[in-house]
Amino acid sequence: MTPAPLVLNGLVVGAMLFALGLVGILARRNLIVMFLSAELMLQGVSVSLVSWSRHHGDWGGHVLVIFVLTVAACEAALALVFVLQAFARTGRLDAAAWQSLRESVLPRVVDRELPASDAAVMVFPRLTPAGVEPEHDPDAALEREHV
């Protein structure tokens, strides 16, 4: 039985999401973006499962997707705890900060000097000063200006 056109299109969308998640896992170095890519792969698998469920006319794919959701929630909780611990130890969300875990035959990742990023330059509007300048709180300068 040839699958319906809608089923085939759903399978193609699931394949595209899975491939995008694969590229993200392989290429990115931020731990949180890597986990987002893993979740993207899970979404692709969910779309494929529901497509096959529609093709076969039964509930197997739907039930599997519900369990995928459950396992994704557990995985996200545990993974974020590990990410937090990793950040507390190294101060970076960088996968290469843990490269002492790599295979002994692989070369060490060495960061090269990056050119200045123009994304960090912010342009704020200039407002006309009005009223009396308030007293400055010296403690406020010690707080983090950026989360």
Partner 1 sequence: MSPDGGLSSTGSLLAVAVGCAAASLWLLLPRGEGGLRERAASRFGMLLGAVALALFVATGRRLGGVGEEAVFLIVALVAVIGGAATVVTRSPVYSAIWFALALAGVAGVLLVLGAQFLGVATIVVYAGAILVMFLFVLMLAQPTGMASYDRVSNEPLLSAVAGAVLLGLLTLFIGRLSAGPDECCAVPSRAAALAGGTPRPPVAPEPPADSAGRDPLAENHVARLGGELFGRHLLAVEAAGVLLLVALIGSIAIVSRTPPDEPADAAAWRAGA
Region 59-88 residues binding partner 1, contact defined as CB under 8 A: 59, 62-63, 65-67, 69-78, 80-85, 87-88
Rule CB under 8 A: which of 7-66 touch partner 1?
7-13, 15-24, 26-30, 32-33, 35-37, 39-40, 43, 46-47, 50-51, 53-54, 57-59, 62-63, 65-66
Closest of 20, 80, 23 to residue 44, by C-alpha: 20
Q: What are phi and psi of 92, to 5 degrees?
A: -135, 150
Contacts (CB under 8 A) with partner 1, residues 104-133: 109, 111-112, 114-120
If one asks whether residue 135 binds partner 1 (CB under 8 A), the answer comes out as no
Q: How many CB atoms lie within 10 A of CB 108?
A: 8
Are 24 and 34 within 8 A, CB to CB? yes
Given candidates 105, 132, 139, 146, which one binds partner 1 under the rule CB under 8 A? 146
**Is 140 an interacting residue with respect to partner 1 (CB under 8 A)?**
no
CB-nearer residue toward partner 1: 133 or 145: 145
DSSP string, 41-68: HHHHHHHHHHHHHHHHTSSHHHHHHHHH
* Phi, psi at 137, each rounded to 5°: -90, 115
145 counts as binding partner 1 under rule CB under 8 A: yes
